[in-house]
């Protein structure tokens, strides 16, 4: 009787482990596809026109795996600052202080959030693009 129970428990454990491993593999493949799509976006020629929208998508991706409320709050705050900046830009106004706030907010997410190395590198890349925009916005096409 004990042997049959132990065998059942072992089989159930192996089944759960297999299911979890399959889910992790599928999630990793989805993550790879997501990052490939992002790389393709920046390989194109029109990415500068949609850079802030892309950064918000990247932040959404990171928010989906945020570790806690403080991490998520920093991400939400950064997306709100980007939306405010975009509103001003759509109205034809360049707002250096607002752009500086976006840079600082994104820098805080990169430095203070618990991120995978891959996601941290992705957001660092976004931060570099925003800094490049800030330095050369008058020639940004």
Residue pair 47/27 in contact by the 8 Å Cβ criterion: no
* The pLDDT value given to residue 138: 86
pLDDT tens-digit map of 22-77 = 443 344 446 788 778 888 887 877 888 899 999 999 999 999 888 888 999 999 99
Assign 11 a pLDDT band (cuts: 50, 70, 90).
low
Q: Is pLDDT at 19 greater than 80 in this prediction?
A: no
Q: Coil, strand, or helix at residue 93?
A: coil
Regarding predicted confidence, which is higher, 17 or 114?
A: 114
Alpha helices (H) along the chain? 2-43, 51-63, 69-90, 96-112, 117-136
Going 63 to 65 to 67 to 68, the CA torsion angle's sign is positive
Largest CA distance in the chain: 79
* The pLDDT value given to residue 33: 85
- Please state, in angstroms and rounded to a whole number, the distance separating the CA atoms of residues 111 and 108: 5
Q: Is pLDDT at 84 greater than 90 in this prediction?
A: yes
Of residues 65, 68, 43, the one with CA closest to residue 54: 43
pLDDT tens-digit map of 90-134 = 999 999 999 999 999 999 999 999 999 999 999 999 999 999 999
This prediction's pTM: 0.75
Range name among 1-5, 61-65, 82-86 with the lowest pLDDT average: 1-5
Q: How far apart are the first and last CA of the chain?
A: 75
């Amino acid at each position: 009787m004990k042997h049959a129970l132990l065998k059942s428990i072992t089989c159930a454990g192996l089944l759960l482990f297999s299911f979890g491993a399959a889910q992790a593999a599928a999630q990793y493949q989805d993550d790879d596809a997501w990052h490939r799509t992002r790389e393709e976006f920046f390989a194109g020629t029109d990415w500068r026109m949609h850079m802030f929208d892309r950064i918000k998508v990247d932040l959404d991706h990171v928010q989906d795996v945020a570790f806690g409320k403080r991490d998520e709050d920093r991400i939400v705050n950064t997306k709100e600052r980007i939306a405010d900046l975009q509103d001003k830009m759509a109205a034809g106004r360049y707002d250096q202080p607002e752009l500086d706030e976006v840079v600082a907010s994104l820098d805080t997410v990169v430095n203070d959030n618990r991120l995978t190395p891959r996601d941290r590198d992705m957001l660092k890349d976004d931060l570099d693009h925003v800094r490049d925009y800030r330095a050369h916005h008058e020639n940004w096409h």
